[in-house]
Structure 1
Amino acid sequence: MADDGGWDRRSLLRGAAVVAGAAATTPLLGKAATAQGRGSDADALFKAGKFEQAGRAYEEILKTDPKNLHAARRRGYVGLLSNQFPVAEKYLKMALQLDPADRDTNYYLADCYIRQDKFPLSAPHWQAIGEEAYAKWFAAVRGEAYQIHGDIAQMPFLQMDPMPLVEASVNGGPPKRFTFYTGAPNLGMRASVAKEAGLSPVSSQKIDFENGAVWAHYGILDSFKLGGIELRNVPVGWSSTESGEDVDTDSDGMIGTWVFYHLLTTFDYAGRSLILRRRTAEMARKARAAAIQAGAKPLPLWLAREQYVHSTGSIAGSGSRVVGVNLGGRGESAAVLRGETAERLRIRTDYDRPIGTFAQSHPAVTYPCYPTEIRLGEAVAKEVYCETHPNGALDPFGFDVPGAFFHCFHKPYNITLDFTDMHLYIARGKMQQ
């Protein structure tokens, strides 16, 4: 995986470019062989984002063909998308027994254990796919990771553009300016911040980044405090140039999805604040009630490949489809459309004005486009500026994702991610607590 450009954590060391998270995602894993016969129907359902139906179809295949590696692995992946960990483990372990060296199965199991904070259990699976740095990192986690102290925190945005910033404290030090982005996985920080906090890497690797190379370092942070909530024993990463200097100085660090799925998180764009709450039944009930009172309906929430948030939405009358939902980050476009989506939906596109950028640490070209409407639940933007990436894979996660929604789309709304019941709520205006 080090050579195919597919490891998203490597291209998100800065997390600045909009297309890094969605527009040109290279498939993380190799293309799996398609199941035959009834399996083709199951695969079609999966590709179309009908995950519950696909899961049942794969189970039917396994009843008559219990040695079908593809069906077992894919059924486990379906469970993982919805954080159904017992189901995911059951079928992924079944697939691993059929082929202990299978790359995809080992990756999914590693991800499954990470989401449950069973970091040492993930290490052998990272090692099995040649990710030695990740294996050493997670094997070094001792005790309970992501220990939560406090019940609620509300951090005002220090700025909205070009990317939102909030204050956080690292190992009890002075306030630092952190951005956030759900296109990034773990908590990350500048090399100078890590040095100031007394961090030492437990593993490191040299990786390609844009037109050069940088060092990615991984360690364990004692304390990360966001307002009234403190997280302890947190896996953290930082990057440096060959000479040890900071790779980027736009912020002091980035908060990724791994932090947010440990909490009940509201990205209150309209109220210009980040709201974090302990994940309890009572907190979830209050958040749901507030969202529904504000007019939000519960949307499905899926998490793919370590960090990527998905729900259902539509683009230019496409009908309900699985779409990416990227919160935080930076960029001027409200959405990025993948592959032939813009052409197929006859979306007005300005091919005379190509935009040179980087995606997955490699040069990429996008074009301005203007869909008549993009929609996420009841949240709508009409004739808004977007970008299309014709060479971006439509199915980087194994299922079709015609586009992803970004920073600018969310500004009139507040968005809550409930990783307990796996629902997303989006409502216009400031979050009412």
Structure 2
Amino acid sequence: MTPGADLHDPGRRAFLRRIGLTVAASAVLPLLDAAPGAARAAADDDPDRLFKQGRFTAAERGYRRLLRKDPRDAHALAQVGYIALLSNRFGEAEEHLSKAVALRPGDVAPAQRLAECFVRQDRLARAVPLLKGIDRPRDQAFAELYSHIGGTPWQIHGARSTRVPFVTLDPVPAVEASVNGGKPGKFWLDTYATLDLSREAAEEAGLRAVASMSGGVANNQPVTIWLGVLDSFKIGDIEIRNLPVQWSDAQRPSLPDGTTAAGAFGTTIFYHFLTTMNYAGRALTLRRKTTAVPRTPAADRLPLWLAGDHYPCTLGSLGDYGPRLVTVDTGGIGSGLDTTVEIAERVGGITVDYDHPIEQAGNKIYPITAERISLGRAVGRDLPGHAAEKVFPGLPGPGQSALFGFDLLANFTHEFFKPYAVTFDYTSMHLSITPR
């Protein structure tokens, strides 16, 4: 269900979902307190090491210290800009990333992140020349897509808030929404999704592709992703107009009644609102950002970071180890946790079932049971999950550490959230998780 680059292709993800898997892998994760004495002190002075450990505030202080010595330090500028982007501090991100791009015009990462800074603000036209300057098919495809969106993108109309009941909770939540004024269809809710339609739903809505790209391989068949402009997407009493959309020929999981979903949507929709996925109450609530924010006890609020355009991160713990950076991918069928064998063995409290491995693309994936995992005061006990034996880049959790540049402990997913309501506030950059 995840769009874009080969590492996140919807075909691979849909295949894993069909067999009940959302998996992750990583290289060895260094423990935060592993360096004693002087070595630890030296590490605390290295902003790159601090950033890799997810200690973003300390890392930013270190990079800014470097910039006071050399204001033209392109790496420090890019990293300060990246840290600001992770927290949706768009002004600071634009300032520092623009300077980094000017100093090193051939450096792809700052250019992509500056483009993303504009995309998150719905300033799509500003992203186009940056993406056109990157010689990669995905960036070229999105440059073409954004150049076809005229007028004001992401126009929000209708009610100040809407509450839409889940039509199913399992295998993952789904709600009804309508495309271009058509009859409502069922859409999976997945924080690792953008707005992704089935090919049939796209054809029924009369969509025209303005660009396409490879989405990798699923079931030994290449997957094509088409990109277009959607006139209208209506969820409950709220309508979004003039927005980017994608669709593909990847096979997706079936709904409980055996029918095919019209698509999936997630974080690129969610970050335009104050969004609550209320698992316990079985409903999705979208509130305009101008509405009053519901009061939540401070102890139930966690920091929220956004990596890429749709990968939410927060702080979580496995047993007594943590809190450390984790991803929040709500779309894992039959799973509450994704991590690696190495991490599971080191942190303890996770039973790895070595007798029942699942072979996937040359990797062994083992069922696990986690005695206790937590996001703040929200605790899950005896949860099923999966641990990967080898590095499996691009899948939720630690496997994305190399992609993002910082270590990830795990991915928290569907089964963990069932007793709770989770709210994503991309203005204050907090995630709130409360029992309902």
Q: Same fold (TM over 0.5)?
A: yes
Aligned AA (1:381): G
Answer yes or no: is 1:6 the counterpart of 2:11.
no
The equivalent position to 2:214 in structure 1, one of 192, 203, 206, is 206
Tell me, what secondary structure is at the counterpart of 1:113?
Answer: helix
Change (3 A) 1:220 1:5: closer
Deviation of 1:47 (Å): 1.5
Q: How many Å separate the matches in 2 of 1:67 and 1:39? A: 23
Aligned AA (2:284): L
Q: Deviations over 1:316-368 (max 9, x none)?
A: 211211111112x24111110136211212332111211244xxxx5643211
The number of aligned residues is 401
Query: Taking structure 1 as the reference length, what is the TM-score of the superposition?
Result: 0.86
Root-mean-square deviation (Å): 2.6
Change (3 A) 1:380 1:78: same
Q: Structure 1 unaligned runs (5+)? A: 27-36
2:37 aligns to what? none
1:262 aligns to what? 272
Q: How many Å separate the matches in 1 of 2:57 and 2:365? A: 34
2:202 aligns to what? 194
Q: How many Å separate the matches in 2 of 1:114 and 1:11? A: 25
Alpha carbons 1:296, 1:426 under 8 Å: kept: no
1:301 aligns to what? 304
Greater shift in the superposed pair: 44-53 or 306-315: 44-53
Deviation of 1:10 (Å): 7.0
Alpha carbons 1:334, 1:386 under 8 Å: kept: yes
Deviation of 1:105 (Å): 0.9
Alpha carbons 1:190, 1:248 under 8 Å: kept: no
Tell me, what secondary structure is at the counterpart of 1:340?
Answer: helix
Q: How many Å separate the matches in 2 of 1:217 and 1:350? A: 40
The equivalent position to 2:352 in structure 1, one of 349, 353, 372, is 349
The equivalent position to 1:404 in structure 2, one of 411, 415, 421, is 411
Tell me, what secondary structure is at the counterpart of 1:331?
Answer: coil
Greater shift in the superposed pair: 203-212 or 45-54: 203-212
Change (3 A) 1:375 1:146: same
Change (3 A) 1:301 1:337: same
Alpha carbons 1:314, 1:374 under 8 Å: kept: yes
Change (3 A) 1:17 1:299: farther
Tell me, what secondary structure is at the counterpart of 2:244?
Answer: strand
Deviation of 1:4 (Å): 8.6
Q: How many Å separate the matches in 2 of 1:135 and 1:234? A: 14
Q: Structure 2 unaligned runs (5+)? A: 28-41, 255-259
Q: Deviations over 1:41-79 (max 9, x none)?
A: 111211121111211211111111223222111111100
Deviation of 1:247 (Å): 6.5
1:142 aligns to what? 150
Aligned AA (2:96): Y
Q: How many Å separate the matches in 2 of 1:146 and 1:381? A: 36
Aligned AA (2:383): V
Greater shift in the superposed pair: 409-418 or 246-255: 246-255
Greater shift in the superposed pair: 261-270 or 337-346: 337-346
Q: How many Å separate the matches in 2 of 1:180 and 1:3? A: 18
Q: How many Å separate the matches in 2 of 1:94 and 1:372? A: 47
Greater shift in the superposed pair: 391-400 or 261-270: 391-400
Greater shift in the superposed pair: 111-120 or 200-209: 200-209
Aligned AA (1:112): C
Tell me, what secondary structure is at the counterpart of 1:89?
Answer: helix
Percentage of identical aligned residues: 39
1:334 aligns to what? 336
Alpha carbons 1:221, 1:232 under 8 Å: kept: yes
Counterpart mapping for 1:104-183 below 5 A: 104-129=109-134, 130=136, 131-149=139-157, 150-183=159-192
Alpha carbons 1:165, 1:180 under 8 Å: kept: yes
Counterpart mapping for 1:74-113 below 5 A: 74-113=79-118
Query: Taking structure 2 as the reference length, what is the TM-score of the superposition?
Result: 0.85
Counterpart mapping for 1:374-413 below 5 A: 374-392=373-391, 394=398, 395-396=401-402, 397-413=404-420
Answer yes or no: is 1:278 the counterpart of 2:281.
no
Aligned AA (1:418): D
Alpha carbons 2:165, 2:175 under 8 Å: kept: yes
1:323 aligns to what? 326
Q: How many Å separate the matches in 2 of 1:353 and 1:13? A: 22
The equivalent position to 1:234 in structure 2, one of 237, 243, 266, is 243
Answer yes or no: is 1:252 the counterpart of 2:262.
yes
Change (3 A) 1:179 1:219: same
Deviation of 1:193 (Å): 0.9
